[in-house]
Amino acid sequence: MNSQLELLINLQNIDIELGKLEDNYKKIPQEIDQLYHICQQIKEEIGQIKKEVDQHNKDRREKERGVEIENDHISKTKVKLSQVKTNEEYSALLKEVDSVKEKIKKLEDEDLNLMELIDEKQKNLKEKEKLFKEEEKRFQDVKVEKEKDIEGFKKTIEEKKQQRESISSSLDNKILQDYLKVSKNREGIAVARFSDGICQGCFLSLPPQLASEIRKNEVLIKCPHCQRVLYWEG
């Protein structure tokens, strides 16, 4: 095979590898970020639940204070009961006691509902806190692992770049410039295999005369349709 052709094939292989390496390398910070955001989101949810529990506890204290006030009200009314002179006054005070008792019952029911609600939220809180610990650990583990990956990627990319440099310097400058131009315009593929009478870059067929020249792999021949350099694998 023509040595320039061989170099071109190697150069393209390295460029493809480098492209993939750089893509994966760029994704690493995003992968770490994603896990970090999951942790932050759970943390926010925990904060929100805690706030709600605080509010419910505050509401409970208010209900309990209300019950105390109403109980006091009943005691005072009972004292009045022992001092009344008429039946009308007596029955009016009894009515008052009944209505206060109803009020107390309502406050106690509301307090009980709040208690149940708090219980439920506390359970949810525990689950979220457990989940947070798990996600936080996952985040830390992945971060350490990915930071190691970054070092590996950097090293491999550097090695590939050096290989690329060495191939580029052995290539005829005109051939290299052509390669770079076509590669840029043809999504990184400037050298294509020729088989079954078809350019495997653009999948168009070539005249038989050209095909027999390509099969020799002796000179650089470009596909007349897509300008890619063609080679024959045999």
Based on CB atoms, which residue is closest to Zn ion, 121 or 193? 193
Cα 226 off chain centre by:
40
Number of residues that bind Zn ion (CB under 5 A): 6
Based on CB atoms, which residue is closest to Zn ion, 137 or 225? 225
> How far apart are CB 208 and Zn ion at their closest, in Å?
16
How would you class 169 by CB atoms within 10 Å of its CB: exposed for 0-12, middle for 13-18, buried for 19 or more?
A: exposed
> How far apart are CB 176 and Zn ion at their closest, in Å?
20
- Please give the Cα distance from 113 to 111 (Å, whole number): 5
> How far apart are CB 228 and Zn ion at their closest, in Å?
5
Question: How many Cβ atoms are within 10 Å of 228's Cβ, its own excluded?
Answer: 24
Based on CB atoms, which residue is closest to Zn ion, 53 or 199? 199
Size of the chain, expressed as the number of residues it contains: 234
- Going by the DSSP 8-state scheme, the letter that residue 224 receives in this structure is T
> How far apart are CB 15 and Zn ion at their closest, in Å?
18
Q: What is the per-residue binding string for Zn ion in 79-118, x denoting contact by CB under 5 A? A: ----------------------------------------
Query: What angle separates helix 3-81 from helix 87-170, to the nearest 10 degrees?
Result: 170
Based on CB atoms, which residue is closest to Zn ion, 131 or 202? 202
Span 172-231, contacts to Zn ion by CB under 5 A: 199, 201-202, 223, 225-226
Among candidates 41, 47, 39, which has minimal Cα distance to 135? 39
Is 39 a binding residue for Zn ion by CB under 5 A? The answer is no
Strand ranges, E, within the chain: 191-195, 198-199, 221-222, 229-232
> How far apart are CB 223 and Zn ion at their closest, in Å?
3
Based on CB atoms, which residue is closest to Zn ion, 150 or 202? 202
Binding interface with Zn ion (CB under 5 A): 199, 201-202, 223, 225-226
